[in-house]
Amino acid sequence: MPVQCQHCDNPPCVKVCPTGASHKRKDGIVLVHKDKCIGCKYCIAACPYNVRIIKKEGYIEKCRFCIEFIEKGEKPACLTTCMTGVRMFGDLDDPTSEISKFIVKHKLKQFKAELNTKPRIYYKRG
């Protein structure tokens, strides 16, 4: 199963970051500000999804939902390049959004939901 940053509502990586480099935006996207990151790896240890990596330059990186595209009103690259079309992206805070309705209709589940990180990525179990 492909696993990426879950952009949690309750992100343990943000709580342990001593510099504030790991942070959650108002829209729910969890990012790492590479200029603030000191490479301490606390966020790597705290992430139960094992999706953070340390770059050779010394800062931590993870899925950013291609934030530069989102800020221009575009979709993340993982959506536009997915050959099978199995990925969706949208506003989970809007119960009338296409993605929110899809999650309910298809009974999608969160990975490791029992950890109470409140992941914002959903999967269809099969």
Question: From first to last of its 126 residues, what are the pLDDT tens digits of the chain?
Answer: 889 999 999 999 999 999 999 999 999 999 999 999 999 999 999 999 999 999 999 999 999 999 999 999 999 999 999 998 889 999 999 999 999 999 999 999 999 999 999 999 999 876
Could you give the CA distance from residue 53 to residue 29 in angstroms, rounded to a whole number? 17
Where exactly are the structural domains of the chain? 12-123
Q: Whole-prediction pTM value?
A: 0.90
Evaluate whether 6 touches 120 at the Cβ level (below 8 Å). yes
Q: Reply yes or no on domain 12-123 having CATH 3.40.50.920.
A: no
Residue by residue, DSSP assigns 33-46 as -TTT-----HHHHH
**Looking at the DSSP assignment, which residues form a beta bridge with residue 24?**
30
Could you give the CA distance from residue 18 to residue 112 in angstroms, rounded to a whole number? 25
For the record, the structure tokens of 73 come out as 């009103």
CA dihedral 50, 63, 38, 12 (to 10 degrees): -50
CB neighbour list of residue 123: distance below 8 Å, 6 or more residues apart: 1, 108, 109, 110, 111
Other C-beta atoms lying within 10 Å of the C-beta of residue 23: 16
Q: Give kind and range of the element (H or E) at residue 122.
A: strand 122-123
